[in-house]
Copies of this chain bind each other. A is one copy, B any other.
Amino acid sequence: MLITDVHAFIQHGYRDFIPHLSIDCAILGYHDGILKILLTAWPDLDGWCLPGGYISRTESIDHAAQRILEERTGLADVFLQQYHTFGQMNRVLPLEEKPEFHDNPLYRAIRGSWLDARTVSIGYYALIDFSRATPRPDEFSRECRWWDIRELPPLLFDHPLMIKTALDTIRKDLQVHPVGLQLLPEEFTVPELQRLYETLLNRTLDRRNFMKKMQQLGILIRHDRTRSIGSHRSPYLYSFDEERYREVLTDQRNMSF
């Protein structure tokens, strides 16, 4: 479902969408050792937000999250995980205090509408390769772009908490679910995979122990070819053993680093 007319959406959107309930997606993007997060900005406000949206009355919340992610990134069938529902009373309060909020015609239209109500938001996180996504702002936003996770702009609402909770959850889930299937190309080297883990966990890992761990998980298939990386020894190329990968996913043993 596409929102073509912003003001029709403000006035009648509650016919198609559930009021008081929204979804916010912490879309983490990884590429070449850089971890970014997708944020959107509204006009005349200098704070940024997680991409969000509303739930159609005829779709599941998981479907709504997938749809929102696809609208913002162009990517479908992404691993997307519900992680927490945020329902504090003061979630959105700080916005009302901003003077910019009162001047802009868009926000004036929103005031008093179904959108101007206490809202509970369901948080989802996703992990994707940001080089494959093309960020697109939604109808309300002036901008939608990647931000380095280490240099975030000012954030609106309770979105700092949402991002922190998402990262904590991802790092915890990483112990159980070997990620990376979505984030790396078909063929990759172990140092590349290690760098992904190091970036997500925000700490360095021991090369030898990391290799041992991956070998005993058995989810990697080594190819004969290597990758040329300049004036160094060429690392082997690997692929995921997808079948074994799924076995490990269902297995509930933890992986620690």
* Bound Cα distance A20, B120 (Å): 11
Q: Does A32 contact B (CB under 8 A)?
A: no
Chain B residues closer than 8 Å to A228, beta-carbon distance: none
Query: A residues 67-94 with Cβ under 8 Å of B?
Result: 82, 84-85, 87-89
B18/A58 in contact, CB under 8 A? no
User: Given A18-B118, A60-B88, A61-B120, 19 more contacts at CB 8 Å?
Assistant: A18-B20, A18-B120, A19-B19, A21-B21, A55-B120, A58-B89, A59-B89, A60-B87, A61-B85, A61-B87, A61-B88, A62-B87, A62-B88, A82-B84, A82-B85, A85-B122, A87-B122, A120-B122, A254-B254
A85/B85 in contact, CB under 8 A? yes
Overall SS of chain A's interface: mixed
Q: Does A142 contact B (CB under 8 A)?
A: no
For A118, give the chain B residue with the smallest CB separation: B57
* Bound Cα distance A61, B61 (Å): 18
For A20, give the chain B residue with the smallest CB separation: B18
Chain B residues closer than 8 Å to A20, beta-carbon distance: 18-21
* Bound Cα distance A84, B254 (Å): 21
* Bound Cα distance A254, B172 (Å): 11
Chain B residues closer than 8 Å to A84, beta-carbon distance: 82
* Bound Cα distance A124, B249 (Å): 26
For A84, give the chain B residue with the smallest CB separation: B82
* Bound Cα distance A69, B62 (Å): 27
A87/B55 in contact, CB under 8 A? yes
* Bound Cα distance A20, B17 (Å): 11
For A17, give the chain B residue with the smallest CB separation: B20
Task: Give, as a whole number of angstroms, the nearest-CB distance from A113 to chain B.
Answer: 16
- Interface centre among A59, A87, A254, by most chain B C-beta atoms within 10 angstroms, is A87
Chain B residues closer than 8 Å to A118, beta-carbon distance: 18, 57
* Bound Cα distance A88, B84 (Å): 16
Chain B residues closer than 8 Å to A254, beta-carbon distance: 254
Chain B residues closer than 8 Å to A62, beta-carbon distance: 87-88
Chain B residues closer than 8 Å to A122, beta-carbon distance: 85, 87, 120
